[in-house]
Amino acid sequence: MNAIYARVSTEEQAKTGYSLPDQIASCKALLFKQGKTNIVEYVDEGYSGEFIDRPALTSLRDDIAAGRIETVVVYDPDRLARKLSIQLLVAEEMEKAKVELRFITGNYDASPEGRLFFSMRGAIAEFEKAKILDRTLRGKKKKSSQGKIIQDFGLFGYSYDQANCTYTINETQAAVVREIYRLVIDDQMSIERVQKELKKRVVLSPTGKALWPTSSLHNLLTNRTYTGTFHSMKNRQQKTGIDTRKTMERPKDEWISIPVPAIVDEMTFERVQHQLKQNKATTKRPFIHPYLFAGIMYCGVCGRRMLAHHCAFRDGSYKPYYQCATQRYSDLRNAGLKCASRSLPAEALDAVLWSKLAEALKNHEKAKKFIPKPKPVANNKVETKRLNQMESELVKRRETITKWFRQQKLSEKDAEEELDQIRAQLIDIEERRNVLKPLEAPVAAKLSFAEVAAQLRPLIEQGDLTPDEKKSIIRAVLTKVTVVRTDKPSVKKPPVFKITWETI
């Protein structure tokens, strides 16, 4: 087979002569001219040339390694990759497989002259990429130094004036911002209480949802732009993969301050910061119930963790419950993941569970009926084999990069960048392998349930244990308790639970 590889990373490239149809048409014309008709197209649309991990390129490399490709035609070396090291790596793989590599914009062969041409084109492509980034950054700094905000960051309370590149106050939203600040200062509300208060007042979030995300409220309360100063060039983004980026803060001396209309004054902002710190430092009210099985209790319907919760009544009394996490966390509810399980009365459930556990510790044979049938152990051989293969390829690539650096084909900077990426991927592979190890490694020798029960039996028979002593015993023998309520809703009959547990 004969292959065409085409790539475009942005719509802008398509406008400047690198459109996919044009690349493919030019490559086909060259193959037809040579009388080659068995053609396969490998197209990466929307992928940067900075990284080697691209779907179509990976498929092409696999087919080359399998001996299915005779000729590869690419419009230009920078379509293959924007980094010289990646170009050299792919070209070397083709040479080893005796695959002919052709470019529309120039000829390439394995001679010293051909290698020189190829390296020069790769270096130029990398230089052009750096120049584009430099021009973009200089343009942003110039606009910022002129007091212009280069884009709309979607700040709630402001409207973006695109003509003048600045923010103007949106009075309707600004009134909400001031009220949120007032709730924190005057009513000493936490962010969670502000969230509930806004929902109660039917004040919609910036995205139009009934419930404000706590992260949005925190950002609104800690963003100094609301005091009248917007900081441009504060953050920068670093690409860590094809679709992943990491945001990092620049040194403060690189920030550019741009004046904007203030929604709150500096004193109000500082009072809010002080109140937020106090809220964080305030000790939470202790549980009104010991919740003996908190932390190891799981929902029998959806499998998520059950959380300690209490219901307050008008007369000042409280009733403790275990409740599925999907009913407590707003993000899970909003995502439509709310579980249908019922709340479990903690007093009744703790009494039933402790009674059954105490009975099982006295006669460990009775514990077996609460232990679920063992699930088949996952087969990790395929995943381990894949990780080993990836590690082997990365080690070979590391050796190749080192060889090219010694041969002065790569600069020290390029070699370091490549080796850092390889090192990070090797660490990820090792971490993933460590996750799989416990499923494959032999279980270390430890006390059985019967042996632990024999040691704890005197304490159980002694009776009159404190809640903390009961918790210590529970965590010494149980790792997970799964419960579902099976009785029909009724206030007259005691609740009925279906219980399974996992022991040490």
Q: Are 449 and 367 in contact (CB under 8 A)?
A: yes
Q: 306 and 392: one domain?
A: no
| CA–CA gap between residue 63 and residue 216 (Å, rounded) | 48
The number of CA neighbours under 13 Å toward the Cβ of 353 is 30
pLDDT(297) > 60: yes
145 lies in some domain: no
Give the bridge partners for 248, in sequence order.
236
Task: Give 39: exposed, middle or buried? Use CB within 10 Å, 0-12, 13-18, 19+.
Answer: middle
| CA–CA gap between residue 37 and residue 60 (Å, rounded) | 18
* Residue where a domain terminates, one of 107, 140, 173: 140
The fraction of the chain above a pLDDT of 70, given in percent, is 81
Of the pLDDT bands very low, low, confident and very high (cuts 50, 70, 90), residue 376 is low
| CA–CA gap between residue 400 and residue 409 (Å, rounded) | 11
496 lies in some domain: yes
Averaged over 228-237, what is the pLDDT?
A: 83
pLDDT for 351 equals: 93
pLDDT for 448 equals: 72
152 lies in some domain: no
Helix, strand, coil share of the chain (percent; to 5): 50, 15, 35
pLDDT(497) > 60: yes
Q: What is the CATH number of the domain that holds 226?
A: 3.90.1750.20
353-373 confidence digits (pLDDT tens): 999 988 888 876 665 555 555
- In 3D, which of 65, 163, 170, 82 has the Cα closest to residue 124? 82
Q: Are 192 and 214 in contact (CB under 8 A)?
A: yes
pLDDT for 311 equals: 83
Q: 66 and 26: one domain?
A: yes
Q: 207 and 305: one domain?
A: no
292 lies in some domain: no
Q: 19 and 50: one domain?
A: yes
Number of residues that this document lists for the chain: 504
Q: 61 and 76: one domain?
A: yes
Range 102-106 contact pairs with CB under 8 angstroms and sequence separation of 24 or more: 102/30, 102/71, 102/72, 102/73, 102/74, 103/73, 103/74, 103/75, 103/76, 103/77, 104/26, 104/27, 104/30, 104/73, 104/74, 104/75, 104/76, 105/75, 105/76, 105/77, 106/77
Q: Going by C-beta distance under 8 Å and a sequence separation of 6 or more, which residues neighbour residue 309? A: 320, 321, 322, 323, 328, 343
Q: 195 and 130: one domain?
A: no
State whether the Cα torsion 188-191-196-197 is positive or negative.
positive
* Residue where a domain terminates, one of 92, 109, 140: 140
pLDDT for 445 equals: 44
- In 3D, which of 191, 212, 190 has the Cα closest to residue 201? 212
CB neighbourhood size of 420 (10 A): 10
More confident residue, 482 or 367: 482
Q: Are 6 and 23 in contact (CB under 8 A)?
A: yes
289 lies in some domain: no
Q: 69 and 190: one domain?
A: no
173 lies in some domain: yes
The structure tokens listed for 86 are: 């990646």
Q: What is the CATH number of the domain that holds 53?
A: 3.40.50.1390
pLDDT for 281 equals: 60
* Residue where a domain terminates, one of 227, 246, 281: 281
The structure tokens listed for 24 are: 């493919």
Q: 110 and 44: one domain?
A: yes
pLDDT for 322 equals: 93
Averaged over 113-120, what is the pLDDT?
A: 64
Q: 359 and 461: one domain?
A: yes
pLDDT for 111 equals: 56
Q: 191 and 176: one domain?
A: yes
Which DSSP category does 250 fall into?
A: P
What is the C-alpha R_g of the chain? Answer: 32
Domain count, the chain: 4
| CA–CA gap between residue 160 and residue 149 (Å, rounded) | 9
pLDDT for 444 equals: 39
Averaged over 138-145, what is the pLDDT?
A: 81
Q: Are 163 and 148 in contact (CB under 8 A)?
A: no
Of the pLDDT bands very low, low, confident and very high (cuts 50, 70, 90), residue 406 is confident
Averaged over 177-185, what is the pLDDT?
A: 94
Range of the domain at 51: 2-140
Highest mean pLDDT among 49-53, 196-200, 232-236, 309-313: 196-200
pLDDT(268) > 90: yes
| CA–CA gap between residue 494 and residue 487 (Å, rounded) | 9
Which DSSP category does 122 fall into?
A: H
Q: What separation, in Å, do the N-terminal and C-terminal C-alpha atoms of the chain show?
A: 58
Q: 356 and 476: one domain?
A: yes
Cα dihedral 375, 376, 377, 379, rounded to 10, equals -140
The vertex-482 CA angle with 478 and 486, nearest 5°, equals: 140
Q: 411 and 478: one domain?
A: no
Q: Are 306 and 299 in contact (CB under 8 A)?
A: yes
